[in-house]
Structure 1
Amino acid sequence: MFPQRLSPAVLAVCAALMLSACSSGEETGDGTSVPVPADPVLTPVVGSVMFAPTPFAGSDGSDHLVYEVSLTNFMRTPVTITGVKTLDAGAQGTPVLTDLDQAGVAGRLKPTGVASVPPRPDVPEGYSEVLAPGQNGVLFLHLQFEGEAPKKLVHEISVRADGAPPEMRETTERIAEIEVNDAVVPVLGPPLIGEHYVAADACCDAVRHTRAILPLDGTPVVAQRYAVDWEQAGPDGKIFVGDAKDPASYRIHGDDVLAVADGIVVASRNDLPEQVPGEYPANLAIADADGNNLVLDIGDGFFVNYAHMQPGSVRFEPGDRVRRGDVIGKVGNTGNSVAPHLHVHVMNEPSFLMSQGVPSVTDLFTITGRVADTDAFDASEGTGVPLEMAPGVTVSTQEDRMILDQNIVTFRAG
């Protein structure tokens, strides 16, 4: 017997009944009640969380959850995501944790392929709240909270489809339920020692790392979800002084790179040449993207990747044991790098590409300032002008927190 085909009219009725209630149960012959499953709900947009988030403490004093929701438009007409609420599905009353309006969605939803609407000046390039027929998009979410983390999340998606039948033009769906990961976050030592280090493109809304999805081996992964590009300014606020095409002109170039924990080296590379700063190398193989790198297994399923080190500076090979604080290499400009810096990220697999990024915290650091924004950082890195600083930042020494985007920190030995 073949499945019955539903007419468009029936589908419209299904959409109209999205909020229908269901009875509490049916009584059996012996008087007991058997729960009746809820009727299925038609959801023109389907979605799921790509990787369960883990809560962590940030250097801003808040706790955070960072994750992605994959959304797909199953309609034959474009849809506009007009709002997204993140709800605490594990709490009584399902309270709202975040509430994005249409403009907020536009700045966080990246359709795969090409956006179907003209670009807007107020959102990142390639982002849009509109999904074309059959198109997938990734919604990048960032929750801030204080105290106990939610145990379970669910998402209320408001959808408008102007070209659909009247009954389906505006719908609200509850989709993408996920249990929050309660894993312990690794506590790490500093990767460098010194002053005026800038946490560039760091968590939690930096487009270049936190939203760097790669489709590898048939799976979308975000290995760099919590990555940091460490650069350094001098007391004058300049990232480099002298010839911008010479890696040695950059303040961080040649600094010692330190092991952030005891561990075993599972991969390393030492043979790639320095790149000329100022532009990304052309036709670089994906395997060479991290330049001269080292991957350290620190136990409990955590791996630390260090990238872009100087040729010949990486001191350890696979199988070697290192201790926290050991010098493992020197900051360079190898691989897919536009200026000398140290790229560091923690992941759940030994591959620096085919893994999921996981959060970590640094055991001790001092925040001495913060760059105004990514544009200010890019201007300094690209032209040599002093960093424009955010006003009102108080010097603070912190423990066991993640250093967030554009903070300037001091790392001490010991």
Structure 2
Amino acid sequence: MRTRAFFAVAASGLLAALLATPPATGWAPMTPAGSPVVRPAIARTEQITPVTAEPTTVPLPVKATDGRTHLVYELELTNMSTLPATLTAVRVTAGEGTLEELSGARLLRVFRPSGAPAEQPARDTVLQPGRQGRVWLDVLVPAGTAFPITLAHAVSVTYPEALGIIPKTMTENVAPLGVPDRRPVVLRPPLAGGGWLDANGCCATITAHRSAASPVDGRSRFGERFAIDFVRLDHGTVLFDGPPDQVGSYPYYGTPVRAAADGRIVSVTDEYPDKKPGSATPDMPLAQYAGNNVVQQLASGEYVLYAHLKPGSTRVLAGSTVKAGEVLGALGSSGNSDAPHLHFEVMSATSPFTSEGLPFVFSSFELEGTVTPNAFDDALASGSGSITVTPAREDRDRTREMPLYLDVLRFPRTA
């Protein structure tokens, strides 16, 4: 935390010197021989930014089932001043166009101060002195945009009062970010058939995956940024049939999980029991959170995690190579799992805790419909296990698109 005394010294010393207007004819320090060295005047374009900002990753453009191209990343903000800073707006631009403008309720929905539960909405957008916060961004790019592009961020902040060279209200231009002309990896679905629900995926809603920052080995990374928890609605509506605290009540338990691409198996873990659905997560070592799992390296360099597999179900060995569609194991509920599901994600490294989550698209699938965010709670409360699905407006095959949170999908039987 910066103290008032420290910041005052900085403002009156280094910053004052940096912001001083140079003579019009340039400045002329003396060489050891006494001859002046003449240099042209340097235009001073520095801006004091008491709230510093850093993007967490370089986003890749990914097309989703809403037909739009998404840039998904987070902006980490730190209040370096000695006064509380209220964030009033965040604007993302590319060239002359505004891609995203967040203020009021929309900004509050995607802002969290450090230390606050990520899934719990913030009460305000105040960053206390020395405090860090994050803004989760899902920037939509207009159709026909040519990449690469450069994003710019304008962060508007107010303080209780002016402090030295810091005005009471200001807009900072921060964190320029280049977006490369790259596309996400194309995968085959790891599951087959219809009724597969994206129960915890990307992008606009700050789900448990979207919000998960892993503070491991001295850094925080967002390995689950695009991760999906797949559960299946049997007969199109039924999540479970029987006691909801039994894995056997979920008809899709034990469904084959298949390789999403050709690749090499990096690691296999198959030693943990299923966790009882709905039970509290016990204290467990970090390595057990993914439960029984398979990590696969793709030829293009990315890694795919297939997690929470059924005990004793894995069919591959570390170091072996597999073809797309080959069975790796069976869907289970091991590790940190509330109910049987397949946790599926693409990563930049071999571990979900030390990697950045990367976008991906599936080669082919159908969008059957969507469900509401409270569908799971309603199914549990009623005891019926039934979930209402709103049919999709378009009944068409999807190619090279990413599913969105609460989508219900039909994958090819040959997946």
Q: Normalising by structure 2, what TM-score?
A: 0.87
**Structure 1 residue 279: deviation in Å?**
2.4
Distance 2:25 2:201 in 1: 51
Whole-Å separation in 2 of the counterparts to 1:186 and 1:159: 38
Separation in structure 2 between the aligned mates of residue 109 and residue 337 of structure 1, nearest angstrom: 27
Matched, 1:172 2:171: yes
Offset at residue 343 of structure 1 (A): 0.5
Quote the offset at 1:317 in angstroms. 1.7
Structure 2: tracts of 5 or more residues without a match: 1-5, 29-38
2 CA distance for matches of 1:49 and 1:161? 23
TM-superposed deviation, 1:353: 1.7
Q: Which residue identity does 1:398 align to in structure 2?
A: R
Residues 1:394 and 2:390 are matched in the alignment: no
1:36 aligns with 2:42: yes
SS in 1 for 2:376: helix
SS in 2 for 1:377: helix
Offset of 1:114 from its aligned partner? 4.1
Q: Distance in 1 between matches of 2:224 and 2:212?
A: 7
* Alpha carbons 1:280, 1:336 under 8 Å: kept: no
Matched, 1:141 2:167: no
Contact 1:377 1:388 in 2 (8 A): no
1:156-191 Cα deviation digits (max 9, x unpaired): 000011144496210110001111133331110011
Amino acid at match of 2:212: A
Deviations 1:348-377 (A, max 9, x none): 1111221000011000001111112x2223
Residue of structure 2 aligned with 1:75, choices 55, 72, 81: 81
Task: Tell me the number of residue pairs that the alignment of Structure 1 and Structure 2 aligns.
Answer: 392
Q: Is the 8 A contact 1:77 1:164 kept in 2?
A: no
SS at match of 2:77: strand
What SS does structure 1 have at the residue aligned with 2:238? coil
Q: 2: distance between equivalents of 1:9 and 1:221?
A: 31
Q: Which residue of 2 aligns with 1:108?
A: 110
Residue identity opposite 1:180 in structure 2: V
Question: Distance in 1 between the 2:402 and 2:7 partners?
Answer: 51
Seen in structure 2, the aligned counterparts of structure 1 residues 197 and 7 have a Cα distance that, compared at 3 Å, is: closer
Aligned-partner Cα distance in 1 for 2:330–2:314: 7
Deviations 1:308-349, CA, capped at 9 Å, x for gaps: 000000111210111100010000000000000000000111
Please tell me whether the aligned partners of residues 257 and 329 of structure 2 are also in contact (alpha carbons under 8 angstroms). Answer: yes
What is the alpha-carbon distance in structure 2 between the residues aligned to residue 27 and residue 8 of structure 1? Answer: 25
Matched residue, 1:197:
196
Q: Distance between the aligned counterparts of 2:267 and 2:213, measured in 1? A: 22
Residues 182-261 of structure 1 aligned to structure 2 (within 5 Å): 182-206=181-205, 207-235=207-235, 237-261=237-261
TM-score, reference length from structure 1: 0.87
2:60 to 54, 63, 66: 54
| Partner amino acid, structure 1, of 2:136 | F
> In structure 1, what is the Cα distance between the partners aligned to 2:24 and 2:287?
56
CA shift in 2, pair 1:286/1:10, >3 Å: closer
In structure 1, the gaps of 5 or more residues are: none
CA distance in 2, matches of 1:83, 1:389: 35
Offset at residue 244 of structure 1 (A): 1.1
Q: In structure 2, what is the Cα distance between the partners aligned to 1:137 and 1:259?
A: 37
Q: 1:378 to 1:393 in 2, by over 3 A?
A: farther
CA contact (8 A) 1:196 1:409 kept: yes
Residue pair 1:211, 1:225 contacting (<8 A) in 2 also:
yes
CA distance in 1, matches of 2:182, 2:391: 36
Q: Distance in 1 between matches of 2:232 and 2:333?
A: 14
Which residue in the other structure is 2:125 paired with?
129
